[in-house]
Amino acid sequence: MLDFRAAEVGGGFAGPLLFDERGRVLDPGALLALGARAPLGFLLHGFNVDRSAGRQGLSEFGRRLRAAHPDLAGTLVAVLWPGDDLLSPLTYALEERDADETARRLAVLCTRTLRLREPPSFVAHSLGCRVALETMSRLHAAGLGAAHAVLMAGAVDADCLARADRYRACVAAARSVAVLHSGADRVLRLAFPLGDAVAGLLFGGYTRTALGLAGPRSGPRREPVPAPTVSALSLTRFGVGHFDYLANAKAARYAGDVLAGTPAPEYR
C-alpha cells in the first residue's frame, strides 16, 4: 500500500510511504525494492475517500482480485491519495488538481525511484480513473507506457479516451483498456455534470457525459475510440451504482481477467 497522503482526512501530499497489508510502515529500502517486484498493478480509489476508507476498500478489492486470480504475476499496490476534503463533496471541482498531482508523483516514482522497465497496469474507480489516465499519459511521454487498465465508474469525460488532446495516445499504446460503466450510476448522472462544469469554469475545459455513465464516446472532432485496445461493458442491466464496484466480487474477477490478459473478459 502506497500512501501519498499527509492527513487522515483532506490535507495535502506527503511521502510516499509504503505499508504492508497489516498497516505497518515499511523501511525505505522496501520502497526501492518494489521496482524489482514487477509487473506492478496500481489500485486507485476515487473522490471523497479518506485514508481509512481507501485502505479498507482497496485492500478488500485486492484480496478479491487475488482470490479470483491466485496465479496473477507481479504485485498489486493500493494507492492512497488526498482526493477528499473536510468540506467534501462540495470540493469536487478542486480535487481534479489533486488527481493530477497524484499522477505526477506516481509517474515520477515509477520512472525515477522504481526505475520500472516493465509497464505497470492500473485498476481505478471514479476520479481515480483520472489519476490512472494522467499517470499513463506521463509514462507514455517518458517512453514507458502502461500494460492494462480497468476504468470503473470513471468520473472523466466520456470522450477523453478518443481525444488527441487528452488520453488517446497513451490509451492506444496500452495493451488493453477496459471500461466498466452503468446507466444506473446516479452519482455520475446527477452530480458529475455540475462538478465538471465548475471545474471547467475554474480551470478550463468543457462538460461532457461521464465515461462511467455512458461508456467511451468519440471525440468532438469525430476522433474514434482507439480500437481494438479499448473495450467497454455496460453494467446497467445489473443495476450497478457508483459505489458498487470496489465491494463487488464480479468487478474484482473482471479486473483480474483484464490484468491477466484474458481475451474477452466477462462480468461473472
pLDDT digits (tens, 9 = 90+) for 95-136: 788 999 999 999 999 999 999 999 999 999 999 999 999 999
Residue 91's pLDDT is what? 60
In angstroms, the CA 162 to CA 224 distance is 6
Nearest to 199 by CA among 106, 90, 107: 90
Residue 23's pLDDT is what? 80
Mean pLDDT of 49-60: 95
Residue 87's pLDDT is what? 60
Mean pLDDT of 243-257: 96
β-pair type (176-181, 230-234)? parallel
For 108-147, the three-class secondary structure string (H helix, E strand, C coil) is HHHHHHCCCCCCCEEEEECCHHHHHHHHHHHHHHCCCCCC
Listed in sequence order, the DSSP H helices in the chain are 28-33, 51-68, 92-108, 128-141, 168-173, 186, 192-203, 211-214, 249-259
CATH top class, domain 2-259: alpha beta
- 3-class state of residue 84 by DSSP: coil
Q: Band of the pLDDT at 22, cuts 50, 70, 90? A: confident
Supply the mean pLDDT for the chain.
91
Does residue 63 register a pLDDT over 80?
Answer: yes
- Percent of the chain at pLDDT > 90 equals 76
pTM: 0.93
- Judge contact between 121 and 148, C-beta under 8 A: yes
- For residue 70, the surrounding DSSP H or E stretch is none
